[in-house]
Structure 1
Amino acid sequence: MTDETRFVSAERIIAAPATEIFELIADPAQQPRWDGNDNLAEAAPGQRVRHPGDVFTMRLTTGGERENRVVEFEEGRRIAWLPTPPGEDPPGHLWRWELEPLDGGGTRVRHSYDWTALHDPKREARARSTTAENLRSSIDRLAELAERG
């Protein structure tokens, strides 16, 4: 398998300011509202991401827990994290959101899933099942929330 097949992305323009969209992404308690993979059940309030190195915890729809280690962060523009089972090293997959404010008030939103560093065969089938359509579904749900204002 080539690295190209281990990276999927989707994008669209959302008719809302980047600051409003970013708030929905950087606050883990909001993430289950727009998760297009229907994988996220809930996150405790008060975990709003503010810096690289922050860790937020999420309960999955399967009942499991994930610690998400933030590895990229630029307020209002970019955030990326490595989901990790509690107490373990990151298995090597990364979720990234990039927001580009546009003239006129809209925002180009790019969402990507990068599993080029994933080397756990038990996780590869799940990683492979994450498609651009799943990512686009998250962006569409995010747009619905942000455009509603």
Structure 2
Amino acid sequence: MAKHRVSRTIVIAAPAPKIFDILADPRRHPEMDGSGSVQGAIEGPGRLGLGSRFGMDMRLGLPYRITNEVVEFEENRLIAWRHKGPHRWRWVLEPLDEHTTKVTETFDYSYAGSFVYQLLGYPARNARGIEETLPRLKKLLES
């Protein structure tokens, strides 16, 4: 694991474009979210691209709303977004063949004051969320 990044990987029996369609549609994010914090999309496009902004209803103890912006994008390969905080959520898709894809989700807090993130427990909490999200995404695509 790279310093100030939390990543997990899973192999999904689905082509990269099919997986990317879910990642690039913020209305689908609650279906795959394993952290329990993503409640629903409230604004934004149905299909994300570089620079797209999308609002989400969230819940971490108390409900709140957040606006994200796509800051990295390569169709069917890479998408990452951030909100006002400098950390990023990144998804990388690596096709293994035409029907199977390696998917890596990363919480990247290398852009931020890492000490504060560690003090608040974000790396461990987000690792647990990723470990729940990836199997949900896999089940969504393989069932």
Per the normalisation by structure 2, the TM-score is 0.86
Aligned partner of 1:68 in structure 2 is 68
- Tell me how far apart the structure 2 counterparts of residues 66 and 45 of structure 1 sit (CA, whole Å): 10
Residue number in structure 2 paired with 1:97: 91
Say whether the 8 Å CA contact 2:6–2:123 is kept in structure 1: no
* Cα-to-partner distance string for 1:1-22 (whole Å, 9 max, x where unaligned): xxx5521000011011111111
Question: Which one has the bigger strand percentage?
Answer: 2
Contact 1:15 1:107 in 2 (8 A): yes
- Inter-CA distance 73–49: structure 2 relative to 1 (3 Å threshold): farther
Matched, 1:137 2:137: no
Q: CA RMSD in A?
A: 2.3
CA distance in 2, matches of 1:11, 1:98: 9
Matches within 5 A, 1:1-149: 4-44=2-42, 47-61=45-59, 62-83=62-83, 90-119=84-113, 121=116, 125-148=120-143
Unaligned runs of 5+ in 1: 84-89
Shift of the alpha carbon at 1:132? 3.1
- TM-score normalised by length of structure 1: 0.82
